[in-house]
């Protein structure tokens, strides 16, 4: 007791300062924290709700005695009206359009990203990058009619009208590549720009050219970000709807010929859901089976993207 009284009598100012430094409730910050927590929880609950609804309706389809899981994943005929549930006809068309999109978007997007990161002046970058990103704001229905009215006649003039059908997966895939080009180029350019300037200067000081520095030093250092951009572009292409619904075809067709008409998974969902479907019928439930398969495909691609980023991420001090 005597010690406490002595401390107070010797240094009363410091004691008052310690009292004033006690934690006080800040209701404004607590409200902001609670709001941010609510936003995060709401997004998670929304995702869980979507998965629940998809899974619930898909289980009704897979639980039907007419559906055989082996035939569902290996069959090539998709006609629910007559009991044919072979998803490969829809999956093959989806993969073909995605492959064409990647063949267009990855080389062009990477070249644009390297130019913007390594060669373009600040003025040119400020003009080119926003102009390129305008492509992402164009409605996809416009891209669909562009594929039908421009890309398809162009392919028919090159390969022949007897070879290229009016509706085909090649034209839809090529235009879809233009759609995802801003996504891949923008994310790749951000990854390249994040590489430290010291690596570039070290390579140039050793006698490397700007191209050698970009290809052999900068691109490998930004590989994780570039790979993530490509995989996200693939996910975007897999889930694209309006382009394939307008230009690819309006009927399931198992074919490996990109100049033939074929219906993708998203295109089939749009076409069937727009018709007269009775609730709780096999046709209605089949849409959710296709939807859950699409969800699993895109989720798998996103998981792969995260693992690639963690595996190849370069940390610089």
Tens-digit pLDDT profile for residues 85-113? 888 989 999 999 999 999 999 999 999 99
Considering only residues 174 and 122, tell me which one the structure prediction assigns the higher pLDDT. Answer: 174
What are the pLDDT digits (tens) for 161-209? 888 889 999 999 999 999 999 999 988 988 888 888 888 888 888 888 8
Work out the average pLDDT over 13-36: 70
Q: How confident is the model at residue 1 (pLDDT cuts 50, 70, 90)?
A: very low
Answer for the pair 164, 170: CB distance below 8 angstroms, yes or no.
Answer: yes
Provide the phi-psi class of 80: left if phi over 0, else alpha when psi is between -120 and 50, else beta. alpha
Task: Give the integer Cα–Cα distance in Å for 245 and 135.
Answer: 19
Beta strand 78-79 with 84-85 is antiparallel
Task: Give the integer Cα–Cα distance in Å for 143 and 29.
Answer: 45
- pLDDT surpassing 70 at residue 228: yes
pLDDT mean across residues, the chain: 84
How high is the pLDDT of residue 107?
Answer: 93
Contacts of 50 (CB under 8 A, 6+ apart): 295
CA distances from 291 to 185, 206, 276 (A): 29, 54, 19
Where do the domains of the chain lie? Answer: 78-312
What are the pLDDT digits (tens) for 51-74? 888 888 888 888 888 888 888 888
Q: How confident is the model at residue 16 (pLDDT cuts 50, 70, 90)?
A: low
What percent of the chain is predicted at pLDDT more than 90? 23
Q: How far is CA 110 from the centre of its chain?
A: 16
Task: Give the integer Cα–Cα distance in Å for 86 and 93.
Answer: 13
How high is the pLDDT of residue 10?
Answer: 47
How high is the pLDDT of residue 17?
Answer: 52
What are the pLDDT digits (tens) for 294-317? 888 888 888 887 787 777 666 555
Answer for the pair 237, 192: CB distance below 8 angstroms, yes or no.
Answer: no
Provide the phi-psi class of 150: left if phi over 0, else alpha when psi is between -120 and 50, else beta. alpha
Domain 78-312 class in CATH: mainly alpha
What are the pLDDT digits (tens) for 249-274? 888 888 888 899 998 999 888 888 76
SS3 of residue 202 by DSSP: helix
């Amino acid at each position: 007791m005597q010690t406490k009284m002595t401390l107070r009598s010797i240094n009363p100012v410091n004691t008052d300062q310690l009292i004033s430094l006690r934690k006080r409730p800040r209701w404004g910050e607590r409200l902001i924290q609670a709001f941010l927590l609510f936003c995060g929880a709401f997004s998670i609950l929304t995702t869980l709700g979507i998965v629940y609804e998809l899974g619930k309706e898909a289980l009704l389809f897979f639980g039907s005695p007419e559906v055989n899981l082996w035939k569902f994943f290996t069959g090539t005929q998709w006609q629910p009206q007559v009991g044919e549930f072979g998803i490969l006809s829809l999956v093959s068309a989806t993969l073909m359009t995605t492959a064409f999109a990647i063949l267009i978007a990855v080389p062009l997007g990477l070249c644009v990203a390297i130019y913007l990161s390594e060669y373009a002046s600040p003025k040119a970058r400020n003009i080119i990058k926003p102009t390129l990103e305008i492509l992402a704001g164009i409605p996809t229905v416009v891209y669909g009619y562009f594929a039908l009215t421009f890309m398809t006649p162009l392919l028919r003039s090159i390969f022949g009208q007897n070879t290229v059908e009016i509706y085909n997966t090649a034209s839809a895939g090529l235009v879809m590549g233009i759609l995802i080009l801003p996504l891949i180029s923008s994310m790749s350019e951000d990854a390249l720009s994040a590489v430290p300037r010291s690596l570039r200067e070290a390579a140039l000081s050793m006698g490397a050219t700007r191209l050698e520095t970009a290809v052999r030093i900068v691109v490998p250092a930004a590989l994780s970000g570039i790979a993530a951009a490509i995989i996200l572009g693939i996910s975007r292409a897999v889930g694209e709807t309006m382009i394939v619904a307008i230009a690819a075809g309006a009927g399931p067709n198992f074919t490996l010929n990109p100049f033939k008409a074929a219906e993708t998974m998203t295109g089939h969902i749009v076409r069937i859901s727009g018709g007269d479907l009775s609730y709780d019928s096999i046709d209605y439930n089949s849409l959710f089976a296709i939807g859950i398969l699409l969800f699993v495909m895109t989720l798998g691609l996103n998981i792969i993207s995260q693992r690639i980023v963690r595996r190849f991420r370069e940390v610089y001090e």
